[in-house]
Structure 1
Amino acid sequence: MKLLLHNGQSTDVTSILRKVTPFHLLDTKVIDTIIEKAEIREFPKGSYVFRQGDPSLQTLFVIVSGSAEVTVLNEQDREVVVGRRNELDFFGETVFLSEEPYSACVRAAEDLTCIVIPNEIFENILSHNADFTSSFSRILADRMRNVYFALITENEPGHTPIEQPMRKRVANLMSAPPVTCAPEDEIQAIAEKMTSGGVSSVVVVDKDGKPLGIITEKDLVGKILARGDFLKRITASTIMSTKLLTVAPGAFYYEALLIMVRNKVKHLVVIDNNKLVGIVTIRDLMISRSTGALSIVNSIEEQTTIEGLAKASKEIDKVLQALVSENATSREILKIITEFFDRLTRKVIQVCEREMIKEGHGAPPVAYSWITMGSSGRQEQFVKTDQDNGIIYENVPDDKEEEVAQYFHVFAEKVVEGLYQCGFAKCKGNVMASNPFWCRSFKNWREVITEWLNKLDSENVRMMTIFLDFRHVYGKKSLCDLLRNFVTRSFQKSSTVLLFLAKDDLNHRVPLNFFKQIITEKSKEHRNMVNLKGAACVHMVDCLRIFSLREGIVDTNSFSRLEQLAKRRVFSPDDTEMFASAYETLMMFRIRQSLYQLSIGKQPDNYINPNELSKKDKAALREAFLAVDRLQNLTGHAFYAFVG
């Protein structure tokens, strides 16, 4: 038994190692074998355990006490901190099983005590413990990706390491304490508070400091001066807006941005543990950035023509570039870009509604829901891709059906053309609302869905795959929600259709060879390349969709579906983490490749050459493919095994 001083007590080294992930997956005998060969080393604060470029010591370091910083040298030979390892973490893993030099430095941030494990015993453990090996590989891939993104951010032209606004917290942006008033305070006094405090809003609070409402400059102008009420005795409670939009101080910049964009507001009240702690405004967010992302929201809202919207939409590409340069995650990027695209789509629809009235067609004869499908339906669109949209309109009497259908056909053609002018290409497969097949009454949609379920041929399976990620964008949302509920109930009752959807996906597997290396294409045009969308992302999307349909999950976003499936324990925590990390990695590779192709005047095609990637990037990509392969295997066990 090896003992060392841990937290002031003499402790068995074996018991410490059992607490370390993924060593907790090993049985006691295996851990005892490791400890027999391991040794204890100490490193004083500020000393380097090893430096970037040093030959591999072929040992793994497990921290018993203290902490360490992982740093790399960027292209300017400046040391950049890319990670930190704390008690019960390990480091040295990137070259632990190879003879390559260290790709990073590790420096003791404080006095450091480590268990040092030689690789000769470790290789034997990897070959005989599958769960341990899988967990260790995922940790390795995640850390490689973190280093990758940190270096990308450092090497962006004009990048300053301190400024990463999208990663800032609301607490760093808000004004605190906020200017407040009581419900009975008169408007004159409130106006004076705004002027003296140099603020654009005042939060109305009760005697306990609980927020009741907010008064903005807009309220003063719109509710008092514009109505000529400024001579009357008016109190805060009379004109305050009671619909308070709140955000937590720990929320990221992008989350505050999304709330403002979605709700067309310029002020958010910051609440912590039910207490008012600050206020964040659109101006606070704009000051923290130089890209002008928020001005794009206003620019889109101000437009009254398709031509104006087409011009404003070009600015969205700059937001994408800024988000990538600020090291936002792909999930954050997808959320924000989706909000911009949705807002743009809604404005195009509104302009077309006015055009229909102006041209004598009149207002829509019945309520409708404009839906979007595909990557847009999943809220995973990051560049302007082909349109996939449709219309669900309210049921009408049979004698009115043709007239109403004709109205929406003309209207849909206008919207599709407007979106085309804004940069969204027309779908080559004609999956657009201008095609009568994708523009139906609620009743007709139910009928066609039932027909798909009853006749499971390849064409109907293809239609379902296109349609099933539909999402409401504009109009009467309840029509979309009701149809979603119908789809969910129908698919839950039909196990056969789920089996066919599984079979459709599993007819094509992730391109990995016998040795689990990525297989690239042999065609002349894309020789030695792989399509990230078709080879991996599509399978991730398909499999998560099938499981979600079975479980009655209505979310369409792949990350949200995965979270919901994890809550239902469809996947283990380790698998959930693996799949989320894989999809994050794949989407980030796609985003960066698309930006590169756009910068050189090419249309994004999702192709990438793995051999042109660094070793770390290639390893991260391979791990992502392995994760998708495992998801397909799980799908096969759950569904495909029962298909003849």
Structure 2
Amino acid sequence: MSNVIVNRVAEFLKRFPPFSFLEKRDLELVATAVEIQYLEKGETLFRKGEPARPHFFILKEGTINLLEDTQYGEEIREVCDEGDVFGVLALLGKRPYVLTSRIVENCLIYAIPVSFFEKVLEENSRVALFFAAGFAAGQVVVRQDLSQSQKARGEFKNASGDHSLLIFSDQSEVNFSEKVLKCSPDTTIQHAAKLMADTQVSSIVVCDQNDFPQGILTDKDLRSRVLAPGISTKNPVWAVMTSPVITRKKQDGFSHIYLTMIRHRLHHLVLTLDGSAQSPVAGIISDHDVFLSMGNSPAVLIHGLMNSLELADMRVIRDRAEQMLRYYLDNEISMDFVASVMTEINDVIISQALEISKKHLNPDYPEMEKVRFCFLSMGSEGREEQLLRTDLDNAILYQDVPEKLQAKAAEYFQKLGEGIVEVLLACGFDACPGKIMASNPEWVQPLSVWKNYFSEWILHPSPEALLKVSIFFDFRAVAGNKKLSEELTEHIYQAIAEKQIFLNFLAQNALKNPPPLGFFKDFVVEKSGENRDQFDIKSRAMLPLTDLARLLVLSHRIVGINNTFKRFEKLSELEPGNAELFSQAGKAYEILMRMRALEGLQNRNNGRFIQPKSLGKIQRQLLKNAFSPISELQEIVNIRFQLDYFRR
């Protein structure tokens, strides 16, 4: 392959994981080994049941459908687009293809030799873990994240590629059990099963007199090899055990152990002193142990959520996400990344809540199947800033339907919203005190009503209307038909364009909160109530910044940026003269988010109220520094929107 082509291949590969984890030299070697294939629409790359080819593939251009045979014919299991890696089971499993690939649009495919890439796997744990996490998640197309959304691909990736270390961090040692249940080969199956039941474990290792492993018997073996074929439980375990047993030493790194389990399709891996079967048993690791070892991985948490519709399981996984959040905050991980991860997890929970509610309702409302709708998150979740399970702000927007269906649609979407909110509450989120939730009929409306709502708020910006604006203007479509929300956004900007003075009212509202520091440069605290002498970090510090960022972005007619620090980032581009101030404001908001989340995790609450006396000197100074951009921004807004004249 000529150098020019090799360079082009390498430049493409380095844009996508796992190739983005490779050093330049290794990337060029992979590019040299690539075979370029061109296929036209309608052709087939491989079929289900065919032996695995000596390559796996990454799609350069075009679209490929991966199809599964069902009783109703071929159904699309996956859609591959640019940068997707597929045919990967050949890489580790070396088994026949389980799906058929069909070319939907003319394709350019890079085929990468398995034999060549296996060396890369051995030498690069980050690459190995990337594939391992994909297989653990049951992926047939390996992508950077498990949500399979374009948005998440962008959010989880940065220019340096360092985020991969956080998502799939290697472990120097895996959590495993040193207390291994063992028996001799002549033990009866019945006795072995009783030992497993008594100790409540899912496997027993069969050992000789030297404690060397001869085989392993698992719950699955008992079902498939004993009960199903009707074999007598009086037979010895050696007759049904899995043998020879695959072993590794307990000091092996996480990626090596995990890949061994995946390569051999193991649910349990026996660990010995020297890693061979001719050595005493030292421990055992199960796929459950692996899951726990990867507990700080958003990929694993998202996979767990996407594969469960059980409320108890979803609650446990969201609890674990909070543990992961604490780890990220303690280790000073970028707030942009942390917010992206937590938003993705929350979004998956919402999507699953929607599926649960639809599954329950749809049989009784078949006519609603084709009615377009979307679930809107607002407030902090709408801005992709909800780190803790604070109160919910959400709504449902659905298309206008014929008059004969209006009552039915209102009833259906009301029940749908109630079901979704019930799931979110069960997962530990707080209810909105103001009842701005999809369980409230007022906020479950067709598009025409939503347009009227916003038109009314913009035309008659009363204090109550401006309060609603501060919540509803940050809406984000999380699930459903997002074109409906785009249509609503267009309407809002058109309404503002027709009444520019609305921005002056919004500016006035953005300045209603005084600076967080008093005359003597100390924190302005609550004077009464249950939070007396505490500092309200949300109302006095974070809310002014979110309000100011929203106002300025609206004044520039910027669509599609809800996140506060991304709004300030965009404003830095639009107003170079104020770039430094906007940059400081964005960083200040990140500090405030981090501090509130840590406060909430420590006190197991929403983190809103902070006791200033509990802060150390450095924390107090850091918090005060974060306040400095607020007064400057308020002064800019005061002048820009001529509020001194506007108030007269």
- What TM-score, normalized by structure 1, do the two folds share? 0.60
* Map of 2:208 onto structure 1: none
* Map of 1:316 onto structure 2: 321
Once the two structures are TM-superposed, the CA of residue 633 in structure 1 deviates from its matched residue by 1.9
* Map of 1:556 onto structure 2: 562
Contact (CA 8 Å) 1:389, 1:432: kept in 2 or not?
yes
* Map of 2:626 onto structure 1: 624
Contact (CA 8 Å) 1:223, 1:239: kept in 2 or not?
no
Map 1:243-642; keep pairs closer than 5 Å: 259-263=144-148, 290-293=294-297, 294-359=299-364, 363-523=368-528, 525-554=530-559, 555-569=561-575, 572-598=578-604, 603-639=605-641, 640-642=643-645
Unaligned runs of 5+ in 2: 1-19, 39-44, 62-81, 102-106, 113-125, 135-142, 172-253, 256-292
State the distance in 2 between where 1:470 and 1:536 align.
Answer: 21
Cα-to-partner distance string for 1:194-213 (whole Å, 9 max, x where unaligned)? 6xxxxxx444779xxxx987
Tell me, what secondary structure is at the counterpart of 1:304? coil
Q: Which moved more, 1:299-308 or 1:378-387?
A: 299-308
* Map of 1:71 onto structure 2: none
Map 1:26-425; keep pairs closer than 5 Å: 170-171=21-22, 178=30, 181-183=34-36, 191=52, 193=54, 201-203=56-58, 214-217=85-88, 225-226=97-98, 259-263=144-148, 290-293=294-297, 294-359=299-364, 363-425=368-430
Contact (CA 8 Å) 2:59, 2:110: kept in 1 or not?
no
2:35 counterpart letter in structure 1: A
State the distance in 1 between where 2:83 and 2:321 align.
Answer: 36
State the distance in 1 between where 2:83 and 2:367 align.
Answer: 42
Contact (CA 8 Å) 1:181, 1:205: kept in 2 or not?
no
* Map of 1:152 onto structure 2: none
Contact (CA 8 Å) 2:60, 2:110: kept in 1 or not?
no
State the distance in 2 between where 1:454 and 1:312 align.
Answer: 44
Cα pair distance change 1:489/1:175, threshold 3 Å:
farther
* Map of 1:35 onto structure 2: none
Cα-to-partner distance string for 1:31-55 (whole Å, 9 max, x where unaligned)? xxxxxxxxxxxxxxxxxxxxxxxxx
Once the two structures are TM-superposed, the CA of residue 215 in structure 1 deviates from its matched residue by 3.0
Once the two structures are TM-superposed, the CA of residue 217 in structure 1 deviates from its matched residue by 3.1
Q: Which moved more, 1:442-451 or 1:605-614?
A: 605-614
State the distance in 1 between where 2:393 and 2:499 align.
Answer: 26
Once the two structures are TM-superposed, the CA of residue 219 in structure 1 deviates from its matched residue by 8.6
1:312 counterpart letter in structure 2: I
Cα pair distance change 1:202/1:434, threshold 3 Å:
same
Tell me, what secondary structure is at the counterpart of 2:392? coil
Cα-to-partner distance string for 1:308-327 (whole Å, 9 max, x where unaligned)? 32333222112212211332
Contact (CA 8 Å) 1:491, 1:550: kept in 2 or not?
no
State the distance in 2 between where 1:212 and 1:380 align.
Answer: 28
Cα pair distance change 1:605/1:322, threshold 3 Å:
closer
State the distance in 1 between where 2:111 and 2:167 align.
Answer: 19
Tell me, what secondary structure is at the counterpart of 2:145? helix
Once the two structures are TM-superposed, the CA of residue 614 in structure 1 deviates from its matched residue by 2.6
Cα pair distance change 1:372/1:642, threshold 3 Å:
farther
* Map of 1:26 onto structure 2: none
State the distance in 2 between where 1:344 and 1:218 align.
Answer: 29
State the distance in 2 between where 1:472 and 1:189 align.
Answer: 42
Once the two structures are TM-superposed, the CA of residue 343 in structure 1 deviates from its matched residue by 1.0
State the distance in 2 between where 1:375 and 1:464 align.
Answer: 14
Once the two structures are TM-superposed, the CA of residue 528 in structure 1 deviates from its matched residue by 3.5
Contact (CA 8 Å) 1:369, 1:473: kept in 2 or not?
yes
State the distance in 2 between where 1:304 and 1:620 align.
Answer: 42
Once the two structures are TM-superposed, the CA of residue 400 in structure 1 deviates from its matched residue by 2.2
State the distance in 2 between where 1:213 and 1:363 align.
Answer: 34
* Map of 1:81 onto structure 2: none
Tell me, what secondary structure is at the counterpart of 2:375? strand
Tell me, what secondary structure is at the counterpart of 2:391? coil
Contact (CA 8 Å) 1:368, 1:392: kept in 2 or not?
yes
Contact (CA 8 Å) 1:511, 1:519: kept in 2 or not?
yes
State the distance in 2 between where 1:488 and 1:559 align.
Answer: 21
Once the two structures are TM-superposed, the CA of residue 264 in structure 1 deviates from its matched residue by 6.4
Cα pair distance change 1:240/1:300, threshold 3 Å:
farther
State the distance in 2 between where 1:182 and 1:268 align.
Answer: 26
State the distance in 2 between where 1:593 and 1:560 align.
Answer: 24
Tell me, what secondary structure is at the counterpart of 1:369? strand
Cα pair distance change 1:550/1:409, threshold 3 Å:
same
* Map of 1:31 onto structure 2: none
1:574 counterpart letter in structure 2: E
Once the two structures are TM-superposed, the CA of residue 365 in structure 1 deviates from its matched residue by 4.6
Cα pair distance change 1:513/1:226, threshold 3 Å:
closer
* Map of 1:96 onto structure 2: none
Once the two structures are TM-superposed, the CA of residue 374 in structure 1 deviates from its matched residue by 0.2
How many residues were matched structurally? 439
Contact (CA 8 Å) 2:295, 2:301: kept in 1 or not?
no
Tell me, what secondary structure is at the counterpart of 1:511? coil
Contact (CA 8 Å) 2:52, 2:95: kept in 1 or not?
no
Contact (CA 8 Å) 2:52, 2:90: kept in 1 or not?
no
Cα pair distance change 1:622/1:443, threshold 3 Å:
same
Cα pair distance change 1:393/1:516, threshold 3 Å:
same
Contact (CA 8 Å) 1:489, 1:552: kept in 2 or not?
no
1:581 counterpart letter in structure 2: K
State the distance in 1 between where 2:382 and 2:495 align.
Answer: 20
2:423 counterpart letter in structure 1: G
- What TM-score, normalized by structure 2, do the two folds share? 0.60
Contact (CA 8 Å) 1:578, 1:627: kept in 2 or not?
yes
Cα pair distance change 1:328/1:500, threshold 3 Å:
same
State the distance in 2 between where 1:582 and 1:316 align.
Answer: 25
Tell me, what secondary structure is at the counterpart of 1:328? coil
Tell me, what secondary structure is at the counterpart of 1:337? helix
State the distance in 2 between where 1:228 and 1:512 align.
Answer: 64
State the distance in 2 between where 1:543 and 1:437 align.
Answer: 28
Contact (CA 8 Å) 2:415, 2:439: kept in 1 or not?
yes
Q: Which has the higher contact order (CA 8 A, sep 6+)?
A: 1
Once the two structures are TM-superposed, the CA of residue 532 in structure 1 deviates from its matched residue by 0.8
Once the two structures are TM-superposed, the CA of residue 378 in structure 1 deviates from its matched residue by 0.4
Contact (CA 8 Å) 1:320, 1:333: kept in 2 or not?
yes
1:260 counterpart letter in structure 2: D
Cα-to-partner distance string for 1:394-431 (whole Å, 9 max, x where unaligned)? 11123322221111111111111111111122212110
Cα pair distance change 1:227/1:562, threshold 3 Å:
closer
